[in-house]
Amino acid sequence: MAEIAVAGAGIAGLATAVALTQRGHSVTVIEERLDTTSGAGISIWPNALAALDHLGLGDQVRCAGGRVAAGAIRWKDGTWLRRPAPERIVTALGEPLVVLQRVVLRDILAAALPPGTVIDGTAVRQVSTTRTGVRLELSDSTVRETDALVGADGTRSVVARHLNGPLGHRYAGYTAWRGVAQIAVDPDVAGETMGPGREVGHVPMGTDRTYWFASERAVEAGSAPHGELAYLQTTLASWADPIPAMLAATEPAEVLRNDLYDRDPARCWSKGSVALVGDAAHPMRPHLGQGGCQALEDAAVLGAFLDLTADLPHAFRGYQAFRRRRVAAIVRESRLIGRVVNLRPVLLSALATRATVLLPEVVVTRHLASIASRSAFRLPTRDDAPSA
């Protein structure tokens, strides 16, 4: 069995470490940060629940979060743009999605690893390949030689740049806020509320809390002088409930603000004994709630390729060929939605957003299912194994 290093202990790195460990490999996850707890919530769609089932962790995740079956879209005055029946959504997706705290998801993944697998507070600085494997130079000035390396080090990935050379990183022009409100919202309005150039999402996280996010155009690295929550409360004061009530029930210190970036896609996800997973391979805008879900699919599929072939470079090559088309379509669509919501002038964005009402529900549901249903997650079969 091989010694494999994983760079990064986010969703992608931990889930991939679980898949590799389950196949008997000796895995070390090298994480730059000392504190990897991250705030707010995350939506785990049925495609990713299916991937988690494959890792043996699906039921733990289901039990740890709230189940959401609605996918409503409203205009800021509360009028419905889309109001699909929950049964229709559940039938199309195979089960409701799960919304849980990010830190809880992280803990479930980390607990599935042998103690001592994750080394916190150490960054991978340089990667080079050797005759027998991979050589890593670490921030603590040590050098580690391993049989293989999985780069799960996010959008600024050192490993993606080792495989691809420089990758551009550009501000997308807008920013996102996230928070958790200590109140329940009506499950019927779970989904999104839209306004000209603005988007607010709100989904129940269990029975007594609500995970929310908001986005709007803003200058890069900006901040609200009187606090992020106060800014949102002012700008969204006239929006329909539950938005003002939800913001009022949020702890100001727990609101996260993150500028959104587009990074050039990594053309090469694998070469020899090095592979990329998660945002390192395919960063995407958050509008479909699929970045973390696709990272979970990556982990399960990479593991499945190791069941088809014991040769790591061979398995990595198969994983890349199998995953890239599905992920590329999701990356493109996430970016397109972001562009439409943030069109300028805002009147155009309002028109484009409101026009979505013209799409027949059956078309929208079928399309959503092609991305996020249980059956959208596919595992490779013998036919998908690349030739040696």
Ligand X SMILES: Cc1cc2nc3c(=O)[nH]c(=O)nc-3n(C[C@H](O)[C@H](O)[C@H](O)COP(=O)(O)OP(=O)(O)OC[C@H]3O[C@@H](n4cnc5c(N)ncnc54)[C@H](O)[C@@H]3O)c2cc1C
Query: Which residues of the shown chain bind ligand X in the complex (CB under 6 A)?
Result: 7-13, 30-33, 36, 42-43, 123-124, 152-154, 156, 158, 176, 178, 213, 258, 278-280, 286, 289-293, 295
Nearer to ligand X, 50 or 152 (CB): 152
Task: Give 310: exposed, middle or buried? Use CB within 10 Å, 0-12, 13-18, 19+.
Answer: exposed
Nearer to ligand X, 175 or 308 (CB): 175
Collapsed DSSP state (helix, strand, coil) of residue 243: helix
Nearer to ligand X, 136 or 315 (CB): 136
CA distances from 46 to 63, 86, 97, 112, 192 (A): 14, 14, 6, 21, 19
CB of 315 to ligand X, least distance (A): 19
CB of 120 to ligand X, least distance (A): 9
Residue 130, token pair as written in the block: 């050797």
CB of 277 to ligand X, least distance (A): 7
Nearer to ligand X, 40 or 308 (CB): 40
CB of 123 to ligand X, least distance (A): 4
Nearer to ligand X, 152 or 369 (CB): 152
Residue 263, token pair as written in the block: 């990074």
Nearer to ligand X, 117 or 308 (CB): 117
Nearer to ligand X, 10 or 265 (CB): 10
| Nearest CA among 124, 149, 155 for reference residue 32 | 124
CB of 115 to ligand X, least distance (A): 19
The whole-angstrom separation of Cα 356 and Cα 83 is 12
Nearer to ligand X, 181 or 293 (CB): 293
CB of 342 to ligand X, least distance (A): 14
Strands, sheet with 270-271, edge to edge from the N-terminal-most edge strand: 118-120, 26-31, 3-7, 148-151, 274-276, 270-271
CB 55, CB 22: distance < 8 Å: yes
CB of 13 to ligand X, least distance (A): 5
**Dihedral sign (CA 44, 384, 312, 59):** positive
CB of 385 to ligand X, least distance (A): 25
| Nearest CA among 282, 263, 364 for reference residue 325 | 282
CB 5, CB 277: distance < 8 Å: no
CA distances from 309 to 55, 304, 315 (A): 18, 9, 6
| Nearest CA among 86, 89, 94, 35 for reference residue 62 | 94
Residue 23, token pair as written in the block: 């196949």
Nearer to ligand X, 191 or 289 (CB): 289
The whole-angstrom separation of Cα 276 and Cα 54 is 20
CB of 387 to ligand X, least distance (A): 29
CA distances from 157 to 55, 67, 161, 261, 266 (A): 25, 33, 6, 14, 10
CB of 347 to ligand X, least distance (A): 25
Q: Tally Cβ neighbours within 10 Å of residue 380.
A: 20
Nearer to ligand X, 214 or 350 (CB): 214
| Nearest CA among 216, 300, 203 for reference residue 242 | 203
